[in-house]
Structure 1
Amino acid sequence: MRDSRISVSLPTPALAAAVADLDLADRVESIAWDLTTPSPSAHIDLVVLPYQQDPRRAANLGATATQLVQAQTIGYEDVLANLPPGHTVANARSVHEASTAELALGLALASLRRFPEYTLAAQGGRWQQLPGQSLADRTIALVGYGGVGQAIEQRLNGFEARVLRFARTARPGGPDGAGRVREISDLAGLLPEIDVVILTVPLTGETRHLVDDAFLAAMRPGALLVNVARGPVVDTDALVRALEAGHVRAALDVTDPEPLPSGHPLWSLEGALITPHVGGASSAMHPRMVALIERQVRALLNGETPENIVASS
């Protein structure tokens, strides 16, 4: 190994305790830092950012030299927007895909099978049978086909649904077209035949307000929009109008603005199901995050390139 010891800042006692239990803990100088205060050291080899932090906290890295800044999220655009120059950033690919895919599928099933309506009826002591929609025999569009999109498709296997895949770059798939990935630009012409649109794209200039009035108008009446990507991928005002018209349904783990303020129309609109950005917040997150931190520490100790590097500032 190249270095005998490295410094690692950890934002929570739970992560600090887990790192202390690793078999390489004697080679790690653990520093408690959640970025709410100025940096405790002029040099920290590995800085682990808090989960779903105020992105402006990243500015506190300005006085600290680092080898790697490790985000606890897959998305990293807010980190980069606030990060001072001189840092290399890795995202948390491998940590959240399974949990986010579970939630996306759960949101779709809950909305299609009308769980919110049944819950309200049960709270009122009413036996209220309502016709629902199945995933079986439906056409599902996965818009974004990275780790989360692929994990959703794995979990859709067995539901007897037709899956269409869309990404920034098209891929041809197998000889019979199996596994074909279309360009996102092809989506508009196919929307009238799609029953469920699941968004997993990163937020970029190209995907901001990807779902706008024209997109929603092109969707099949009664179709479901599921967003586990980023809130601004959807034009919220356009979605409110489409929900008010009863044209579509929506199941959202992310919104714009976020947190969604009390009194916002989305809270009370029929056909809207909202969870508070908890796609990755499950029992799977902590052990997978610890495993990623361990791999990053070993890479730095060995003089190797860490995984999941997404940008350098």
Structure 2
Amino acid sequence: MPIGALIALIVILGGGGGASIAAQGSLPGDALYPVKVGINEKVAGAFKFSDEARAAWDSNLAGVRLDEAAKLALESRLGTDWETKLGTAFKVHADSAEARIEKIKDGGNAKVAAALAGELEAKLRVRSEVLARIKDGGKKIDVDSEVRDAARLRVDAEDDEKSEEADSEGGKNSAEGKINAASNVIASVKAFLDKQGVSTTTKAEAQAKISVAEKLLADAQVKFSAADYSAAFDLAQDALRAAQEARFSSEIRIDLKIGNDDLSGDDDDDDATSTKSEDRGRNGEIRGGVNVDIDL
């Protein structure tokens, strides 16, 4: 039995369910981290039965591994060892999510596949931005290639979705549904940003993305009124993705407790507020605790 799993078993048997709950906030190198990844996540994953649920679960875990890398980097504790392990685990989860989304698409449910791929793309894109702006922030973890893979998968699924509803009425319904989805996410993000406790910096960065989303949504509505349903669909999807990025960006900054001095200035080459995806145009220092080898 791997030492990490053995430690996890001892902790669970000795501490009961409380250890499992406490493990949720642990980071790599903490005594309870093996419980988090070796027991909590595996047990939760065992109850994800459908391809859709498992794709969403792997997408979530891919984001969790990147957030762990960011948290360690903010404490200057990431180190080469954990950077490599977290990068490998991230890729495993991202690839698994993409494979399941591909299966869903090929199974004839392009709408669900497009939604899952779009959310994965947005989730990874904002984390790539955060890691790039943290000193020693996991620069060796290749997030961008997974972003591109998710974007290509999203575009393919969207094309299939539009093909499935190629007739005029079907195209209209599809575009209208995408416009409504984008509008709902924009509204939910704006409501979240109005909550007390959201910092000025977090709000400003999210609002910049929301402004992009609102402009795209307005353009989509113009195209929809002109019965150009294909263009309306594409613009609404871009609006939806921009709004999702605003949501994930806010959530990450709050979860990581990022302050104004934690991130470098915006990179001049950063296209975070681009209205189109580039793919669309068709050491080992360990955080306090024990240093164990575990299977992420």
The TM-score range, normalised by the shorter chain, is under 0.3
Q: Which structure shows the bigger proportion of residues in strand conformation?
A: 1
Q: TM-score, structure 2 length as denominator?
A: 0.28
Q: Which structure shows the bigger proportion of residues in helix conformation?
A: 2
Greater length-normalized contact order (CA 8 Å, ≥ 6 residues apart): 2
